[in-house]
Amino acid sequence: MPYLANQERYSEMKYNRCGSSGLLLPAISLGLWHNFGGVDSAENGRAMLRRAFDLGITHFDLANNYGPPPGSAEELFGTMLKSDFAPYRDELVISSKAGYHMWDGPYGEWGSKKYLVASLDQSLKRMGLDYVDIFYSHRPDPNTPLEETMGALDQIVRQGKALYVGISSYDAEQTAQAISILNDLGTPLLIHQPKYSMLNRTIEEGVQDVLQENGVGSIAFCPLQQGLLTNKYLNGVPAESRAAKSTGALGENEVTEEVISKVQKLNDIASERGQSLAQMALAWVLREGRVTSALLGASKVSQIEENVKALDQLEFSTDELGAIENILSD
């Protein structure tokens, strides 16, 4: 059946301005890191993309290496874009990245101009696009001058291959330097994509201050800590979980008794708020407006539906924030 988007898709979603730019992003975005690759069900992927857009999620986040195999998430998205979303292209924010290994030889990863430009050309071909809305340097390169990496981003915008540029997993000093270089080039940094959750708060140690001072937005990846901040791990490590299978970024050594104890206490607070743990974890990441969007991963439609409901209760009382802080700091 041809896809017709929900006419009420913009009625409930919350949209936040990305830093000091003119771009609004949905408070919840959908990432295609897992479950959209060549080894996954294309029909499940289609169902998740359709439902996400019907709920007002306009931002779909990809990278050159997403799969597996690498590149296959972009290929699937390109197929769905052609079959389902072509009429809605101008309602979508599509992002991609380059930085991790994609092909053999010295030019297949990191942050050289050679790699970034070639990789984006490949990504555009896989997705059937003339441009992406946001293109990221996926990780800092210790062996390439930051001026070269940022210069490549500037060139990509000037060539019309991306509207905005971002960085991911840069520390506070690197972020400040990237902002300065891009400002001098005339292509301001739109957004930073850091890992951020209740259980990983590294960006509070400088990165958030740099972003706020410079009018740069942020989108948090792994806000549910690879599923740890859901009901999945409340009673230990389930056999089908990522931790048990040693897939993704979550290892079994991260699911300790101490962590499970914290998760259980956080779940009690979520229950008192009338939320699932995942909903509260997403609301917490978005608290105080310092994060533009929380980047959601999903393996089925029901997860998207549940997690978007986090937006129904974004406010925290002083007592709730204090109780959460006490749990996290123990």
> Residue 136 and residue 39: Cα distance in Å, rounded?
25
Q: What is the pLDDT of residue 254?
A: 76
What are the distances in angstroms from CA 91 to CA 10, 51, 57, 201?
11, 15, 10, 32
Q: What is the pLDDT of residue 209?
A: 98
As a dihedral over the C-alpha atoms of residue 145, residue 177, residue 98, residue 164, rounded to 10 degrees, the angle is: -130
Q: What is the pLDDT of residue 111?
A: 98
Domain 15-227+291-299: CATH superfamily is: NADP-dependent oxidoreductase domain (3.20.20.100)
In tens, the pLDDT along 102-130 reads 999 999 999 999 999 999 999 999 999 99
Classify strands 293-296 and 217-220 as parallel, antiparallel or unpaired: parallel
What are the distances in angstroms from CA 272 to CA 263, 276, 280?
14, 10, 11
The tokens describing 157, both together, are: 């915008």
Return all residues near 271 (Cβ < 8 A) that are at least 6 apart: none
Q: What is the pLDDT of residue 260?
A: 94
Q: What is the mean pLDDT of the chain?
A: 95
For every residue of 200-256, DSSP letters joined together read B-GGGTTHHHHHHHHT-EEEEB-TTGGGTTSGGGTTS--TTSHHHHT-TT--GGGS-
Confidence (pTM): 0.94
In tens, the pLDDT along 174-229 reads 999 999 999 999 999 999 999 999 999 999 999 999 999 999 999 999 999 999 99
**Mean pLDDT per 10-residue run, the chain (330 residues)?**
95 98 98 97 98 98 98 98 98 98 98 98 98 98 98 98 98 98 98 98 98 98 96 77 54 81 97 98 97 98 98 97 96
Amino acid at 13: M
